[in-house]
Structure 1
Amino acid sequence: MLDGMMRGVIDAPLDQSGRWLAARGATANAITLGGLVLGLVSAGMIWAGWSGLAVALVLLSSRLADGLDGAVARARGKTDFGGYLDIVCDFAFYGAVPLAFVLRDPGVNGVAGAFLLFSFYVNAATFLGYAILAEKHGLQTRSRGEKSLYFTAGLMEGTETILCFVALALWPGLFPVLAWIFGALCLLTAVARVALAARRFR
């Protein structure tokens, strides 16, 4: 829901930074993988109980690196594999954070964490399935920036997910409650996307 608004704010500075990095030999895939490493380290810190450091790394990996890799790709030339790698790394990071909370306290967080991962799985399936059909039908959109895949708008998108992760890292005791709420909103997003697909592709 917030991704479109955020693109208008961050695209210009990210593109400028991306051109600067590309001119000095940086590659989009290297930034993507570096962002994943930071994201997985942040999940490890959540598991270990170092929430303050985890917040900083979540923001570095998910917002800075995830934005810069696309900017560098636009400066150097996009590739299909780069877009593929980007979405794979995004989903790996999204799954690692709930897993970290489950590992941190399985008794308290286990059921809520499993539900959150289930909701991510269903939401991701509707997102990727829609992108495949959109490609098949020649649909294009730039409302979420210049992407390798077709990005459908939804109630819960990347920005909302990162805000949720930051809140969880700051207040880990709220994980069960926030996981149930956010998971339910992800499932609502998935249902809405299925309904949209039924109208457009049936």
Structure 2
Amino acid sequence: MIDPPLNRIGRRMAARGISADRVTLVGLVLGLVAALVIALGAPMLALVPLLASRVADGLDGAVARATRQTDFGGYLDIAADFLFYAMIPLAFVLIDPAGNGAAGAFLLASFYVNGTSFLGFAILAEKHGHRTTAQGQKSLYYSNGILEGTETILFFVLLCLFAPYFAPLAWVFGALCFLTAALRVRAAYRIYVN
């Protein structure tokens, strides 16, 4: 649904000489600005750079498809995504370490485990020559899960809108991330155990 408009914009950006890697880095900077604004106590104001960073995250792939996809570009994109996904919860912990610390640590641990299961699955899929376009054309194998990028962005928006409820929201979302990771490990076991 979002790929056609992103691809149109991506083709225009590519025609102007804007590289996919540059779009990735702009998206990362916007995400880090959002985290800083949250940490400074203004989560509602952080919504603008947060959402702009995610638009850039979608556009970098569109620019790459309009020019050429590179292994480094895919690597840079996933590294920038993981940094962004870590900094937003950390920013909420910094607002109120006593009230948000444990829930934030749990959430970050769940992101770590979920990200590991995602990247590990991608490595196995590559090793076995498996391909998918279920999530669009990507530089690495994207295994499905209960919670993916869209759900995480919606969660971050909820956190910005309802910042006083960070802790209970983080506990629930973190538990769902752990469940997603467990289901991904189970799927890998079913597919890749000889």
Match of 1:198 in 2: 189
Gap regions ≥5 residues in structure 1:
1-8
Please give the root-mean-square deviation of Cα atoms over the aligned residues, in Å: 0.5
Q: Please list the CA deviations of residues 63-119 of structure 1 after superposition, one character each: whole Å capped at 9, or x if unmatched.
A: x10110000000110000000000000000000001001111100000000000000
> For the residues of structure 2 that align with 1:17 and 1:195, how far apart are their CA atoms?
38
1:14 aligns to what SS in structure 2?
helix
Written as runs of structure 1 = structure 2, the 5 A alignment for 1:1-202 is 9-62=1-54, 64-202=55-193
TM superposition shift of 1:53: 1.8
Q: Please list the CA deviations of residues 136-187 of structure 1 after superposition, one character each: whole Å capped at 9, or x if unmatched.
A: 0000000101100100010000000000000001110010000000000000
TM-score normalised by length of structure 1:
0.95
2:76 aligns to what SS in structure 1?
helix
> For the residues of structure 2 that align with 1:109 and 1:53, how far apart are their CA atoms?
20
- Report the count of equivalent residues: 193
Match of 1:5 in 2: none
Gap regions ≥5 residues in structure 2:
none
TM superposition shift of 1:195: 0.2
Match of 1:4 in 2: none
Q: Provide runs of 4+ in structure 1 moved above 6 Å.
A: none
1:36 aligns to what SS in structure 2?
helix
> For the residues of structure 1 that align with 2:75 and 2:35, how far apart are their CA atoms?
22
Which gives a bigger RCO, structure 1 or 2 (Cα 8 Å, sep 6+)? 1
- Aligned letter for 2:49? L
Point out the more displaced range, 148-157 or 43-52.
43-52
Aligned identity (percent) is 61
